[in-house]
Amino acid sequence: MKATLLLSIQFFSIISYGQGSSNEEIIRRYLRAGLNGKWEEMKNLMNDSIIDYHPTVLEPPAKGSENLISSWKSSMQPFTKMSFNLLGSGSVEITTGELKGKWIFDAREVFGEVSGKDQPIKFQMVGLYKVENDQVYEVHNFGNLMDIYIQFGYQVVPPKE
């Protein structure tokens, strides 16, 4: 709910604030470090008590930098190489309420090479990141997981009526 509200605010009100571009660069460095397995660099860009809400509500969020890095390592196992194209980004500062803080929004297309597959796995992601003192404190990523699973060869079978 909190992330959906923030996402709605972001779509209708992309406002740049003073630190926007440097905070956006922090997010790009954070993502590149994770996609390239540079765990120490990634850890240096996150607060020790970071919380990362996964794309599915069935999976509990990763809390703390060590848990988040462990989660990234697990997610990256099938891939031999990862990269992304940034489709757009923006920033908003919310000054009151539960969502108070400086947030970065980005949309990106992600490419992942997998051993034994001729074509890379491609998917789009939307990310929301709370940044304070040059560190990532909170992450919400949204992506089409079904699209990823289908590219890995899973089949969707509807339940019997």
pLDDT above 80: residue 104: yes
The residues that bridge with 125 in the sheet, in sequence order, are 108, 143
- The yes-or-no verdict on residue 1 having pLDDT over 70 is no
Please name the amino acid found at residue 49.
S
Beta-strand runs (E) in 57-134: 62-63, 79-94, 101-114, 121-132
Please provide residue 58's backbone torsions phi and psi, each rounded to the nearest 5 degrees: -75, -20
Confirm whether pTM is higher than 0.75: yes
- Averaged confidence pLDDT in the chain: 84
Which domains, from first to last, does the chain contain? 2-151 (3.10.450.50)
Rounded-to-integer distance, Cα 39 and Cα 30, Å? 10
Percentage of the chain exceeding pLDDT 70: 87
Q: What confidence score (pLDDT) does residue 60 get?
A: 86
Cα of first residue to Cα of last residue in the chain, in angstroms, is 32
What is the model's pLDDT at position 134? 92
Reported as a single tens digit per residue, the pLDDT across 32-90 is 999 899 999 999 999 999 999 877 777 888 999 999 999 889 888 888 998 889 898 88
Q: Are 59 and 68 in contact (CB under 8 A)?
A: no
pLDDT of residue 57: 72
Amino acid at 99: L
Measured CA to CA in angstroms, residue 90 lies from 58, 95, 120, 146 at distances of 28, 17, 28, 27
7 against 68, higher pLDDT: 68
> How many whole angstroms separate alpha carbon 54 and alpha carbon 61?
6
